[in-house]
A = this chain, B = another copy of it.
């Protein structure tokens, strides 16, 4: 039997509460001792956003932070001053100091918001340490890595919460309500993706994060320091989860349905080179003007599910364009398209004509948004980040299986290496492994349903 430490006590008390028919949301963590102790690995811009939101809660303590960059640590500490929070233990002694944090801090939960290539090894270590693990989104590198996540979760019994915030977007959740009320009929075809002009993120002046220059890698700052290198060496859908996460909820992926195979295609690569060439701080004589980028400006993938839906997934981050996750949710009775903000439902909409989505979004606004709207105001990414962290914290308190778990993480991450492989082989279809090893047959989708947070 595990020694009764603070961490076990919280789990135990949660179970007791449930046994006593007290609603989980009535559990309060007011005293310092009962707060959920969270450690954050990676305190760049994304990590700081999480810390800032967590410090505003009275039920958590961000007890430890870890980063290799002292400037980012310093920026993070300013949030502690702002919210008058007890200073955290700081780990900044090189890239593996996170191991010391995991070993020493008696944490209830960890959030990992480091560059992509560290996510899996840190998540595996955190699960090995028995700590409820929140892992930021990215794309994977290998199927083996995806299996590591699954196998470590199963061996240790520790949960992994894959921190996909777009599942909580207000329109995405309203449409989820509509899907569940059968407004669109049986699902047939879905589209999604990440279409975001990241040129001003992939390059900067080495000092300020956005739109400030044409440097990257060692001379870059924030994401330009590391993210851009993926555009140099790789060609695939590097960032699939903001699209596939919400779609997975609509069609119950890993819960009665499964991704079967994918085929991907990649266009010419021009956008990043042109950006360097045409930027006032760049030009043809700038050293980066000779840099080759492997990443096609537009990577498109098609996925088939075992329930016979088709999915189109966009990845479009190198060209000038307005932001769009490109959602389309189409069933036997109608469809939603995010780009024209329109809905068509047979029998409700005028024949063969789009309707504005506005009234539908109001009518089917998700109960969670109605309930938490005020608390979400001001949180990152239009309030989504409040919901994400609220869900993470509430699930971590109860050590409960998260809505996006190790199997989902493995599945969604695997899109990236599978798309790279498909492209490398001239758009050959690539089968998805069944990361659930058959459990998808009878697993249930509980995300944002009665009992999940409300």
Contact = CB atoms under 8 A, between A and B. Distances in A.
Given A265-B263, A266-B310, A322-B353, A332 B274 contact: yes
A339 to B, nearest CB: 5
Nearest to A303: B265
Interface string A176-209: 0000000001101100000001000000000000
Contacts of A268: 186, 188, 307-309
A215 interface: no
A300 interface: yes
Nearest to A264: B302
Interface string A298-317: 10101110011110100010
Contacts of A341: 340
A188 B300 CA distance: 12
Interface stretch (A72-80, A158-166, A422-430): A422-430
A263 B186 CA distance: 25
A309 to B, nearest CB: 6
A267 B352 contact: no
Contact of A297 (B188, B312, B322, B426): B188
Given A188-B268, A332-B274, A340-B339, A298 B310 contact: yes
Contacts of A186: 268, 270
Nearest to A431: B426
A320 B344 contact: yes
Interface string A221-239: 0000000000000000000
B270 A332 contact: yes
Interface in A412-454: 426-429
B352 A197 contact: yes
A100 to B, nearest CB: 42
Nearest to A269: B308
Task: Name the residue in A316, A334, A426 with the highest tally of chain B Cβ atoms < 10 Å from its Cβ.
Answer: A426
A346 interface: yes
A293 to B, nearest CB: 13
A103 B307 CA distance: 54
A428 B267 CA distance: 18
A410 interface: no
A302 to B, nearest CB: 4
Given A268-B308, A308-B267, A426 B261 contact: yes
A300 to B, nearest CB: 6
A390 interface: no
Contacts of A263: 263, 265, 302, 427, 429
Contact of A321 (B304, B335, B428): B335
Task: Name the residue in A266, A332, A353 with the highest tally of chain B Cβ atoms < 10 Å from its Cβ.
Answer: A332
A319 B308 contact: no
A217 to B, nearest CB: 23
A284 to B, nearest CB: 16
A270 to B, nearest CB: 5
A300 B320 contact: no
A360 interface: no
A20 B345 CA distance: 61
A300 B297 contact: no
A440 B357 CA distance: 45
A140 interface: no
A354 interface: yes
A332 B271 contact: yes
Interface of A: 185-186, 188-189, 197, 261, 263, 265-268, 270-271, 274, 296-298, 300, 302-304, 307-310, 312, 316, 319-323, 330-335, 337, 339-341, 344-346, 352-354, 426-429
15 contacts: A188-B319, A189-B298, A263-B427, A265-B302, A266-B310, A268-B307, A268-B308, A296-B310, A298-B330, A320-B334, A322-B352, A322-B354, A337-B339, A339-B340, A427-B429
